[in-house]
Structure 1
Amino acid sequence: MKEIYTTTVPLRWGDMDQIGHVNNTVYFRCFEQARVEWIDLLPAAIDNNPAYVVIVHTECSFLKELKAPGTVEIKVFAGEVGRSSLVQRYEMRRTDAPDVLVATGSAKMVWVSPDTGRSTPIPDRFKNTLVVG
């Protein structure tokens, strides 16, 4: 797999649930934040292609408990690439314990044409970043 992006996300007191650990939905929000930041790096003006992304499947394996405050690092990898789809894979670690993997996840993204509402080939601006080399 090719690493395509890395970001950090702060954990907030409000991210914790009633038993004092970060709620499982926050893991998905962290993955989403990394995904959106990656998409925003490559605006439609680059190749004049307004296709947008929808998520058709997502999952997370919770490996270690997280508590706030703190910051997590999310690494984004390009997984399987199809005609109109990309599986992004994620690794999450606390920045103060970078050797400890706390979660892994994935999201299958499909590009959609705003004109037809149907899947469309991955825009070149994204496809070019996915080439391993």
Structure 2
Amino acid sequence: MKENKKLLFSKNYTIRWQDMDAFNHVNHTVYLIYLQECRIDWLLHYGIVMDGATRGPVIGEVTCKYLRSITHPAEICVELYFSHKIGRRVYFEHIIRDKNNPELIYTTAHVVVVWVDFTTGKSIIPPPEYDYILDETIIINN
């Protein structure tokens, strides 16, 4: 994780039984869903909906470091950090922690988001009208 990252959004989630796999822990692919839900909830907090949009963010790359298994009925806190922007890419980081024991980190992840013009299928510079959402920290404790 980069030292100069900025916390943008944090939200708690409860592990569902259906998230478990045959080994009695959360399936590794479900971690990506938790990260996605956090980013979507962050955008929805600002009223940003991509339905019918002609341009928008898509995932260009995701890397996860699985540090500990998550089991039902854990409660987790998913944090979203802004790292930096370079050209057409926006770099984010995530941490998934135990809600009741924040020192316990289950996963760290790096996500690269690329803005795309859906009519041409080509990447574009992120629109400046969205820059404001990279400046504010939102913590939702549910």
Give TM-score scaled by structure 1 length.
0.86
Show structure 2 runs of 5+ residues with no match.
137-142
The alignment status of 1:41 with 2:45, answered yes or no, reads yes
The equivalences for 1:24-35 within 5 A come to: 24-35=28-39
Helix, strand or coil at the partner of 1:119: strand
What residue identity is the alignment partner of 1:77?
Y
Helix, strand or coil at the partner of 2:123: coil
Paired position in structure 1 for 2:111 = 107
Note the aligned Cα RMSD (angstroms): 2.1
Show structure 1 runs of 5+ residues with no match.
none
Helix, strand or coil at the partner of 1:34: helix
Paired position in structure 2 for 1:125 = 129
Identity, in percent, stands at: 23
- Aligned-residue offset at 1:131: 5.1
- Aligned-residue offset at 1:115: 3.1
Instruction: Provide Cα deviations, 1:18-46, integer angstroms capped at 9, x if missing partner.
Output: 111111111111001111112223427xx
The alignment status of 1:56 with 2:57, answered yes or no, reads no
Match of 1:92 among 96, 99, 112: 96
2:39 and 2:77 mapped to 1: Cα distance?
A: 13
- Aligned-residue offset at 1:85: 1.4
2:106 and 2:133 mapped to 1: Cα distance?
A: 27
What residue identity is the alignment partner of 2:22?
Q
